[in-house]
């Protein structure tokens, strides 16, 4: 058993029920909800496994709960391969789910294509990481936006209606004057301008929810803030529900109302962004925050315990670790972490702050009190 000398200060609390606190706080109207969302990708079998009964699969997403509300941003944070982009694609109904439920305004929705998918996409739009790949290089901005407006029946009846709608879309994403951009090709724009066009195209559907998958990670650092500010402005003006997927927990604090942390396909911590980033409870969230460059920390004498924290690689999702999936890397792992899957436990005094970690189980905390036998 390895026990970090620095025990967490957050008090233990009761377990959090599914769909309870930490999956998007607030009282605003719920637009989109994932309940127990699970996705396992079957692994293609080689000749050797052809006659074996064992069915292998990549456990990309397991038992994920997310609630997106009007006028709020939820950040989904984790390292590469943690399953966060798969969650976005499941919510966009680009992948069929293995288990769980997706509800739009409280009604379960499963669409596989055709007009049902178009109707769903009119309400839930996705913004991809690479704006250059998501725009066709042989077509102009006018073509991309016109197509979005027409598919979702927002182009009006006359050419003048269409022209006005195109100008309004570009104005909404601060590409002004619109005539400067309408007849350009994607390669004639900067990365930030291309991502603004991708956002304008998503707005052409007049959606209620935006699923933004690492929308600024491929942009120059100098223009990331502008695109995040644009999304925040749209959230407020259009009352959009936004899922913001990122590996950068610092940007989640700046941009998102609520933050959920994902590790190896499972949610490990959630709550309002200020609380999760300032007083992280789960050892993995603390690792993410400690991994962000900090000149003060670099200048200080290195603490060997801190240096040792979280060493190792993310696990294989074909045979994920038993119990807590973080236990092979966790400096605070206890014997039960290897066998028992942690439940969500309420943390501290902030409503909605939870962590899936046995450190906050009342029995564990009681056993650590002086004079109490383990």
Q: Which residues bind ligand SF4 (CB under 6 A)?
A: 282-283, 324, 326-327, 330, 332-334, 337, 342, 357-359
Minimal distance in Å, beta carbon 94 to ligand SF4? 31
Contact 281, 261 (CB under 8 A): no
Residue with smaller CB distance to ligand SF4, 58 or 359: 359
Residue with smaller CB distance to ligand SF4, 110 or 339: 339
Alpha-carbon distance of 46 to 96, in angstroms, equals 24
Residue with smaller CB distance to ligand SF4, 243 or 334: 334
Residue 57: both structure tokens together: 């699969």
Residue with smaller CB distance to ligand SF4, 45 or 319: 319
Contact 202, 126 (CB under 8 A): yes
Helix, strand or coil for residue 115? helix
Residue with smaller CB distance to ligand SF4, 83 or 283: 283
Residue with smaller CB distance to ligand SF4, 196 or 325: 325
CA 113 to chain centre: 24
Residue with smaller CB distance to ligand SF4, 156 or 321: 321
Minimal distance in Å, beta carbon 90 to ligand SF4? 25
Closest by alpha carbon to 287, among 268, 266, 265, 315? 268
Length reported for the chain: 374
Burial 198-230 (b: 16+ CB within 10 A, else e): bbbbbbbbebbbbbbbbbbebbeeebbeebbeb
Count of C-beta atoms within a 10 Å radius of residue 295: 7
Minimal distance in Å, beta carbon 8 to ligand SF4? 9
Minimal distance in Å, beta carbon 116 to ligand SF4? 40
Minimal distance in Å, beta carbon 183 to ligand SF4? 54
Minimal distance in Å, beta carbon 244 to ligand SF4? 24
User: What are the contacts of 358-367 at 24+ separation with CB within 8 A?
Assistant: 358/324, 358/334, 359/7, 359/8, 359/281, 359/283, 359/332, 360/8, 360/10, 360/12, 360/13, 360/281, 361/12, 362/12, 364/12, 364/334, 365/11, 365/12
Count of C-beta atoms within a 10 Å radius of residue 333: 21
Minimal distance in Å, beta carbon 359 to ligand SF4? 5
């Amino acid at each position: 058993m390895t026990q970090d000398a620095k025990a967490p200060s957050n008090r233990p609390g009761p377990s959090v029920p599914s769909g309870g606190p930490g999956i998007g706080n607030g009282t605003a109207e719920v637009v989109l909800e994932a309940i127990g969302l699970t996705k396992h990708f079957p692994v293609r079998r080689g000749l050797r496994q052809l006659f074996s009964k064992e069915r292998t699969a990549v456990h990309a997403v397991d038992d994920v709960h997310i609630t997106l509300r009007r006028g709020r941003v939820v950040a989904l944070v984790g390292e590469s391969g943690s399953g966060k982009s798969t969650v976005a694609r499941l919510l966009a109904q680009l992948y069929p789910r293995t288990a769980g439920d997706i509800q739009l305004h409280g009604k379960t929705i499963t669409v596989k294509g055709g007009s049902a998918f178009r109707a769903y996409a009119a309400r839930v739009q996705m913004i991809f990481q690479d704006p250059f790949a998501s725009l066709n290089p042989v077509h102009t901005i006018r073509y991309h936006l016109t197509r979005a407006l027409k598919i979702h029946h927002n182009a009006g009846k006359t050419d003048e209606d269409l022209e006005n709608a195109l100008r309004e879309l570009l104005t909404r994403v601060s590409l002004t004057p619109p005539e400067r951009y309408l007849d350009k090709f994607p390669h004639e724009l900067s990365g930030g301008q291309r991502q603004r066009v991708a956002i304008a195209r998503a707005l052409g559907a007049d959606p209620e929810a935006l699923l933004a998958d690492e929308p600024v990670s491929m942009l120059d650092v100098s223009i990331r803030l502008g695109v995040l500010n644009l999304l925040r402005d749209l959230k407020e003006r259009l009352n959009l529900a936004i899922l913001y997927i990122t590996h950068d927990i610092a940007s989640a604090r700046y941009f998102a109302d609520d933050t959920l942390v994902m590790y190896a396909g499972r949610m490990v911590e959630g709550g309002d962004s200020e609380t999760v980033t300032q007083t992280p409870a789960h050892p993995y969230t603390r690792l993410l925050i400690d991994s962000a460059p900090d000149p003060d920390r670099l200048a200080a004498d290195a603490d060997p315990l801190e240096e040792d924290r979280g060493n190792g690689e993310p696990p294989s999702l074909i045979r994920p670790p038993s119990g807590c999936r973080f236990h092979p890397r966790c400096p605070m792992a206890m014997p039960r972490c290897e066998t028992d899957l942690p439940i969500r436990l309420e943390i501290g005094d902030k409503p909605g702050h939870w962590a899936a970690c046995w450190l906050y189980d009342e029995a564990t905390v009681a056993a650590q009190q002086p004079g109490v036998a383990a």
